[in-house]
Structure 1
Amino acid sequence: MIQLAQSVDTPNKLRGTEFTNISDAISAFFNIGITLAGVIFVLLFLIGGIQYLVAAGNEENTNKAKKLLVDAIVGLIIVVIAWAIGTYILQLLGIGEAGKLDLGIQ
């Protein structure tokens, strides 16, 4: 893909951040949002699982727990789709590091 816009990295960091250009900031915010959504999914899934186990046959509580589990899974699917679309759009804009989640594991 031919990129017509020029990008210049400034040696000075953006005020109050560790970023030297706006594309790094956009990529970081995108990755933080996706990571936060993943953490929320895990928490909701754990809460739903615990509620299901604690329901002890109570049909109303069991249905609430099942609904929470289904909602968490639907939310995860939406987040994965948003991640894919966001990564695609940011790569089209020339921000290649978007969507690359650094977990610090080597």
Structure 2
Amino acid sequence: MRAFDIMAEAKMRQWEQDKKEGKVKPSGGPPLSVESGDSLEKQLFADITRLIRRSRQEPLRTGEETLREAEKLQVQLSARLERTGAYHLSRYVTDRIKALREGKDE
């Protein structure tokens, strides 16, 4: 198991424990997708696109919150890709997300 996987699992367990103890307030939306076998980067991209599309169907204020959540995930995704040296892929993903936000990539 890679170091990131071990750290992610430890974080998840800690979050679940904090949730049981009431230290974490429940989130307002459905959980992000976790498809086994897919890389975290692929999952993040899928979640970003899902959130952007969902924001179009929500009332204005809720849609704006959903877009902010998508932006946070986009920052995480870009950071992960650039940290591994995948600069071209990071730029491509950023362009795809921008096009989706503008409604040009359906």
TM-score, length basis structure 1: 0.41
Q: Which has the higher helix share?
A: 2
Which of 1 and 2 has greater Rg?
1
Structure with the bigger RCO (C-alpha within 8 Å, sep 6+) is 1
